[in-house]
Amino acid sequence: MSLPTERAQTIAHVLIEALPYIKRFQGKTMVIKYGGNAMVDAALKEGFARDMVLMKLVGINPVIVHGGGPQIGSLLNRLGKTSEFVQGMRVTDAETMDVVEMVLGGLVNKEIVNFINRHGGAAVGLTGKDGDLIRARKLLITRDAPELQAPEIIDLGHVGEVESIDPAIIHMLTKGNFIPVIAPIGVGADGHSYNINADLVAGKIAEVLRAEKLLLLTNTAGLLDAQGQLIPELDVGRVQALIDEGVIQGGMLPKIRCAIEAVQSGVKSAHIIDGRVEHAVMLDLFTDTGVGTLIRGR
Ligand SMILES: Nc1ncnc2c1ncn2[C@@H]1O[C@H](COP(=O)(O)OP(=O)(O)O)[C@@H](O)[C@H]1O
Ligand SMILES: CC(=O)N[C@@H](CCC(=O)OP(=O)(O)O)C(=O)O
């Protein structure tokens, strides 16, 4: 059976447009942060899994770091608990930490692994505890306000930041043709688990792996300005003003901060893209136009 000519031409055009990108990125590492808000329905999850398998097949090494904020929230709700967020971070008491570990290390991680494997890939799920991948320390954030004499230190409970990354397990998996799928849970020197914002983990892993790109999949078209319009390329010099004006807030704060840190530490570029668009990763990697907001490295 032959394809209608128009469709066949579209397919040929897409493949030809992708070719130089496939050549350029072969052997390179792409760190993909898969946000909980981008895991909307089965079709999108399948599309994401297929994109990962295709990348691997054409010789690019995807390393996935996933979130799962909404999924943690819904289990907490079922248990009659609510969360408070400070600067985009979930205040995490001991009970909440158990739920975070169950949801991120268990349900969400294994669902992604399963989707990829069902589409012909070989994914392996990890938390930061496996292979001592993510060493964490307690995160202390400060709040400054005119009525305060000195900045106030806010204790978020079991919330951590990345102290160090040991990429040995990632190298081993990549060499063996596996796709690592990493949940953002770190372990402290005391052996305790820490809940780390997934954007922060993705940024650090991208730095340590000297990734070609850091792709942050979320539920907006990218970074939006005060009028709700997409900012196609971020001028890093404008970020503080955008924060002060309240344009960048909530979950976008850690995303932008980690993207900037990553490109300042050697990652070639970071991209905030709309995970609600089917095959968003392919569109960003393999087309001339790209999608979302680009944060260029030096
Ligand atoms: N300037 C902005 N542009 C886009 N989104 C923004 C902006 N400021 C705040 N946000 C919020 O950040 C959210 C994305 O962060 P988050 O909820 O943590 O998503 P994810 O689960 O993908 O990490 C958006 O849904 C939006 O509500
Ligand atoms: C400290 C902190 O806030 N941790 C996050 C970890 C999950 C995450 O980052 O998920 P998304 O990427 O889907 O937002 C949380 O508890 O929600």
Burial class of 206 by CB neighbour count within 10 A (0 to 12, 13 to 18, 19+) = buried
The angle, 0 to 180 degrees and rounded to 10, between the axes of the packed helices 109-118 and 42-57 is 60
Residue owning the nearest CA to atom 16 of ligand 1: 251
Ligand 1 mean position, distance from CA 131 (Å) = 31
Q: Which domains does the chain have, with CATH numbers?
A: 30-296 (3.40.1160.10)
CA 183 / ligand 2 centre spacing (Å): 10
Minimum CA distance residue for ligand 2 atom 13: 36
For ligand 2, what atom is nearest to the CA of residue 159? 1
Contact predicate 31/63, CB 8 Å: yes
Cα–ligand 2 centroid distance for 88 (angstroms): 8
Average pLDDT over residues 34-56: 93
Q: Which residues pair with 89 in a beta bridge?
A: 86
Is the whole model's pTM more than 0.90, yes or no? yes
Q: How far is the CA of 86 from the centre of ligand 1 (A)?
A: 14
DSSP-assigned states of every residue in 157-170? EEEEEEEEE-THHH
State if residue 35 touches ligand 1 by the CB under 6 angstroms criterion. Answer: yes
pLDDT value of residue 2 = 65
Q: Is the minimum distance from the CB of 177 to ligand 1 under 6 angstroms?
A: no
Query: In ligand 1, which atom is closest to the CA atom of 36?
Result: 21
For 185-235, write each residue's pLDDT tens digit. Answer: 999 998 999 999 999 999 999 999 999 999 999 999 999 999 999 999 998
- Tokens matching residue 197: 């914002």
Q: Is the pLDDT of residue 260 over 80?
A: yes
pLDDT over 70, % of the chain: 99
pLDDT for 148 beyond 80: no
pLDDT in tens, 107-145: 999 999 999 999 999 999 999 999 999 999 999 888 777
pLDDT above 70 for 3: no
pLDDT band at 40 (very low <50, low <70, confident <90, very high): confident
Residue 297 has pLDDT above 90, yes or no: no
Question: What's the CA gap between 97 and 218, in Å, rounded?
Answer: 23
State the closest ligand 2 atom to the C-alpha of 198, by its place in the atom list counted from 1: 9
Contact 18, 286 (CB under 8 A): yes
Q: Which numbered ligand comes closest to the C-alpha of 198?
A: 2
What pLDDT score does 10 carry?
Answer: 78
Residues 52-98: tens digit of each pLDDT: 999 999 999 999 999 999 999 999 999 999 999 998 899 999 999 99
Q: Residue 268 — very low, low, confident or very high, per pLDDT cuts 50/70/90?
A: very high
Q: What is the pLDDT of residue 225?
A: 95
Amino acid present at 202: A
Annotated binding site for substrate: 68-69, 90, 195
Largest Cα separation within the chain, whole Å, is 76
pLDDT in the model for residue 143: 79
Give the number of the atom of ligand 2 that is nearest the alpha carbon of residue 37.
13
The tokens describing 236, both together, are 């890093």
Give yes or no for residue 239 CB within 6 A of ligand 1.
Answer: no
> Measured from the CA of 38, which atom of ligand 1 is nearest?
22
- Which residues touch 147 (CB under 8 Å, ≥6 apart)? none
25-34, 64-73, 282-291: which has the minimum mean pLDDT? 282-291
The rounded Å distance from CA 89 to ligand 2 centre is 7
CA–centroid distance for 271 within its chain = 10
**Known binding-site residue numbers:** 68-69, 90, 195
